[in-house]
Amino acid sequence: MSVASRQSADHDDGPQLLRDIWGLTATAIVIVILRIIAKLRIGKFGPDDLLMGFALCLATVGSAMMTIGIHYGFGQNVDNLSDERVSKVIMFDYLTQTFGLAGGALGRMSFIVFIIGLLVSRQWHRLVFWILIGFQLIINSMFIIILFVQCQGHASAIWEHSDKAKCWSTLVQAYYGYFQGAFNSATDLYLAVFSTVIFWKLNLKLKVKLGLVSLLGLGIFAMVAAIIKTVQTRVLASYDMDPTKATVSYDRWLFIETYLVIITASIPCIRSLLRSIKGQPSTSRNTHELNSRYVVSSSTHTGRRKQRDSSIDAKRMIDVSEGHVSNDDCHSDGHDHDDTHDSGSSREYVIICV
């Protein structure tokens, strides 16, 4: 072995991994706290926020598991560790992956619930999104189950290297990992594209469209991380790789993916706080996050805004305004609203305030 190869083998990847993961963890904690503050401030705290809070807790526990694993030697060469420490490293590596996978799945489910409340009005669209939530739960849970049932008898046989244990081929875990990663990447892409298409069809100023599309399309970054992590899944099929170093890159990208899901899905929810910081007034009465539905009814004499039940599949108004609404902020759906038209009758049309 050359000197360079020996130095590479002896290099401890743990400290750098620890800095990367906890940097992401701290960022996600701050963003989710701001999300909760913003939602409570305007009275819009809901199930999606509870799911996101739970996702953050799971991901943070995963970061803690990784920290313990690094303490025992995760990221170091296996030849430098005792058999007992190697077993503990492998055990905490599996626990790290479990909480990372669970956090990412719940983060996506939270964002889907948020999208359902924000943009989905047609019944079949709602059905598709709820089915997507079900698949997120099932597909990601199955991967976690596979991690711990691949050795017959008990899960500890995975890290105890018992000669009596009969384990599945590592290809099972790797191939399912490819499928799970591809599904999560496709989910991120679908959510970003759906939000983009919906907002792009609305009669909004180009600047407003680009702003809203950018906020709800941030999941593309999570998709990129999911793709890179999926490529790294190949290490799960390798028998001859160092068990205490092989999954360092895989775990890093798993948590980058998970925390990007949490962060990018929460940023749109803190919009009201950012506008308040800029000095734009907002109160619980005139401030709405990206989750309010309204229909505006117009007559020859007066125009009134009334909130409609979310189950009604009709034209609706999505009020995403913060601060006081002005004529420059509101855009109709393109229909003529001349007060002299249809005298004596009222009609509904869509207005988007941003």
Q: Would you state the pLDDT for residue 216? A: 83
Q: Would you state the pLDDT for residue 108? A: 96
d(C-alpha 289, C-alpha 291), whole Å: 5
Confidence of residue 279 (pLDDT cuts 50, 70, 90): low
Plot region of 342 (φ>0 → left; ψ -120 to 50 → alpha; else → beta): left
Q: Are the C-beta atoms of 148 and 155 separated by less than 8 Å?
A: yes
Domains of the chain: 3-275 (1.20.1070), 292-353 (no CATH)
Confidence of residue 119 (pLDDT cuts 50, 70, 90): confident
Confidence of residue 251 (pLDDT cuts 50, 70, 90): very high
The yes-or-no verdict on residue 347 having pLDDT over 70 is no
Residue-wise pLDDT for 313-332, tens only, equals 333 334 444 333 333 333 33
Residue-wise pLDDT for 257-276, tens only, equals 999 999 999 998 887 777 66
Task: List all residues 6 or more positions away from 82 whose beta carbon is below 8 Å from its beta carbon.
Answer: none
Residue-wise pLDDT for 199-228, tens only, equals 787 777 788 778 888 888 888 999 999 999
* Listed residue (103, 104, 71) closest to 88, CA to CA: 71
Residue-wise pLDDT for 124-183, tens only, equals 888 999 999 999 999 999 999 998 888 876 666 777 765 556 778 888 989 999 999 999
The yes-or-no verdict on residue 346 having pLDDT over 50 is no
Please state, as a whole number, how many other Cβ atoms lie within 10 Å of the Cβ of residue 232: 20
Q: CA–CA distance from 258 to each of 117, 192, 278, 331 (Å)?
A: 23, 16, 30, 36
Task: List all residues 6 or more positions away from 313 whose beta carbon is below 8 Å from its beta carbon.
Answer: 121, 122, 123
Q: Would you state the pLDDT for residue 163? A: 55
